[in-house]
Each structure stands twice: as C-alpha cells, then as structure tokens.
C-alpha cells in the first residue's frame, strides 16, 4: 500500500478540481485494501473509495479522512464463459476486452471514463443500457473486512443508483472487489463495429477537456441538457467553469476552475430550470469532501 498525506485531489479527478485529502492510499490487491481499511478503522476516520475520479466534484476544502484509490485490475473469462473483472478495471477497457473475445452487451460503455466499481455504485449507463442489466453478482469487502458475494437482486439497482449509494451516505463503506457480467457470444467483427459506433457517438455529442460527465440526471420523460439549453444557459460561465457549448448537461473546466465555480453553476442551473419549467434537477455527479 502506498500512503500519502495532504494529496491534492485535482490530480486524481477528471475535472482537475479539488482540495487535499488528509490521507491517500493506492491499493492494487485485496491485502492492500484491507490494510488501508484497518488504518482508517483504527483511527476512526471516514473512507472514500476512488475509481477514475470521473463522476465527482471534490470540494476546494478537500476531503477529511482517507481516500482509497482502487487499482484492482484482474480480468478473465470465467469457467461459464462470462467476463469476470476486478472493480478497478476501466469500464471502457472492459468493453474492449469483451469485444475482442466476441462477447456482446457492453458496447454502450465504449468511451465511459469510469471503472467497473464506480459503474456498479452509480448503475452507470448509456444509450438505453446500464451495468445493472448485465451484472450477475458482485463481490464486496464489508466495513468489517469480510468478503461477501451479492447477487444482482441484492444490489438495489435503479436509475443511476444502487445500495452502495445509501451505504456511502451513511458512511458504511462496502467496497466492491469484483463482479461477473452476463454477455452474449457474437461475431467479433460485429461487436467491435458496434463498440466503435458508440464511441464515435460519444465523441460527436460530448465535450472534450476536463469534465465530470453528465452533471444532472435526466428527469422522467425529458433530458436535462434540453431543459438547460432551453433556459438559455448553454455556454454560461462562472470563473473558469462553463456549461458546455456542445452539450448543456456537461460543465467543463476551462483551465483554472474551482469547485465553488462549478457549484455556483449547479445552483444557478437548478434555480433557472425550476423557475422556467417547474422541474428540480437531481445531481448525477457526487459532491465529495467538505462542503458545509
């Protein structure tokens, strides 16, 4: 386990924003993870598990407690022909792995920057599919460092949520270790073609540069991006944070944005959309760290 102190989170998030974490541990196997959990537990400090840092906004004041960067990376084809992967594996890389082995069902994940573990926590999805549709089971490490296996029905999947969201809110971390996905055999060339098509669609519709993905969940029957654009906010800036001119449900760091700038845009957007359309936008990203 590599343990750092006062580590700037701006180096570890796709937004390139965030203050320092009190402790920062990089773990590459379950023993490292258990050691980090023991360190935090004996000191009574909270734990936040980080994947690729792609769906979070970290406070300018940083994170009190320990951040554990999940680098568990094993991937294999299970004995029953399905993909079994560690939670730190990048989701887009896992989609490419599946395509190379002629397994269909993850093509929608091409270009998604998060890890498998983060995708399970948020039930990540795109193009009408989500990780909950293909998951068979997930192995987790409980707060007491006991390894458990949870089947899909135990995970409380909903639109961009799971039981892990609730455990984070209660500061009762159950850390995802690995998962097995049910995918379908298909001609390799066809799977790879479909994967490339999804990746191209993401590049065409979503901004490049430092961002955290979709900021808001789509409300029932509508799209957050459409509402924000209709409210006249596309391209609006606070400091170096900007509502993307390319896709209004994305906010981009134009170079030196602070978390407070992004938070200001979030508040403004919610108020304007509520005033214009009577809809309160729920966050898809997670606000992490010392916000109050």
The secondary structure of the chain, three-state, reads: CEEEEEEEHHHCCCCCCCCEEEEEEEECCHHHHHHHHHHHHHHCCCEEEECCCCCEEECCCCEEEEEEEECCCCEEECCCCCEEEECCCEHHHHHHHHHHCCEECCHHHCCCCCEHHHHHHHCCEECCEEHHHCEEEEEEECCCCCEEEEEHHHCCCECCECHHHHHHHCCCCCEEEEEEECCEECCHHHHHHHHHHHHHHHHHHCCCCCECCCCECCCCCCCHHHHHHHCCCCCCEECCEEECCCCCCCEEECCCCCHHHHHHHHHHHHHHHHHHHCCCCCECCEEECCCC
Cβ pair 265, 248 in contact under 8 A: no
- Show me where the domains of the chain are located: 2-70, 75-205, 224-288
Asked if residue 260 has pLDDT above 80, the reply is yes
Asked if residue 9 has pLDDT above 60, the reply is yes
Q: How high is the pLDDT of residue 174? A: 78
Spell out the CATH class of 224-288. alpha beta
The residues facing 179 across adjacent strands are 85, 138
Lowest mean pLDDT among 77-86, 195-204, 207-216, 266-275: 77-86
Architecture per CATH, 75-205: 2-Layer Sandwich (3.30)
User: Which carries the bigger pLDDT value, residue 79 or residue 254?
Assistant: 254
* Spatial distance between the Cα atoms of 15 and 67, rounded to a whole number of angstroms: 17
Residues near 91 by beta carbon (within 8 Å), at least 6 away in sequence: 106, 109, 112, 113, 114, 115, 116, 118, 119, 124, 131
Q: How high is the pLDDT of residue 142? A: 81
Kindly report, residue by residue over 166-222, the tens digit of the pLDDT.
655 555 567 999 999 999 999 999 999 999 999 999 999 999 999 999 999 999 999
* Best CA proximity match to 251, nearest among 210, 217, 287: 210
Q: What is the pLDDT averaged over residues 112-131?
A: 94
2-70: CATH topology is 3.30.43
- pTM (predicted TM-score): 0.93
Q: How high is the pLDDT of residue 172? A: 55
pLDDT-above-90 percentage for the chain = 89
Half-sphere exposure at residue 235, Cβ-oriented, CA atoms within 13 angstroms: 4
Asked if residue 44 has pLDDT above 70, the reply is yes
Q: What is the pLDDT averaged over residues 91-103?
A: 95
pLDDT-above-70 percentage for the chain = 97
Q: How high is the pLDDT of residue 80? A: 79
Half-sphere exposure at residue 166, Cβ-oriented, CA atoms within 13 angstroms: 6
Mean pLDDT over the full length of the chain = 94
Catalytic residues: 160, 214, 284
């Amino acid at each position: 386990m590599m343990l750092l102190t006062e580590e700037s989170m701006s180096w570890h998030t796709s937004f390139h924003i965030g203050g320092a974490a009190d402790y920062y541990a990089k773990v590459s196997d379950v023993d490292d993870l258990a050691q980090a959990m023991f360190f935090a537990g004996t000191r009574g400090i909270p734990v936040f598990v980080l994947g690729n840092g792609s769906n979070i906004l970290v406070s300018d004041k940083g994170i009190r407690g320990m951040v554990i960067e999940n680098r568990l990376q094993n991937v294999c084809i299970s004995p029953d022909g399905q993909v079994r992967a560690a939670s730190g594996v990048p989701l887009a890389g896992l989609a490419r792995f599946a395509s190379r082995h002629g397994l269909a069902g993850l093509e929608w994940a091409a270009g998604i920057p998060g890890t498998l573990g983060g995708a399970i926590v948020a039930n990540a999805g795109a193009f009408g599919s989500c990780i909950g549709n293909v998951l068979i089971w997930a192995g987790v490490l409980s707060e007491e460092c006991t390894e458990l296996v949870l089947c899909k029905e135990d995970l409380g999947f909903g639109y961009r949520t799971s039981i892990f969201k609730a455990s984070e809110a209660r500061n009762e971390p159950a850390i995802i270790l690995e998962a097995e996905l049910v995918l379908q055999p298909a001609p390799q060339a066809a799977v790879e073609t479909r994967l490339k098509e999804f990746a191209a669609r993401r590049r065409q519709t979503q901004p490049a540069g430092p961002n955290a993905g979709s900021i808001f969940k789509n409300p029932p029957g509508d799209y957050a991006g459409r509402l924000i654009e209709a409210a006249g906010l596309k391209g609006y800036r606070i400091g170096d944070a900007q509502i993307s001119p390319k896709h209004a449900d994305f906010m981009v760091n134009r170079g030196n944005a602070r978390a407070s700038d992004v938070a200001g845009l979030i508040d403004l957007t919610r108020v304007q959309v509520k005033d214009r359309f009577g809809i309160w936008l729920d966050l898809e990203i997670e606000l992490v760290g010392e916000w109050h």
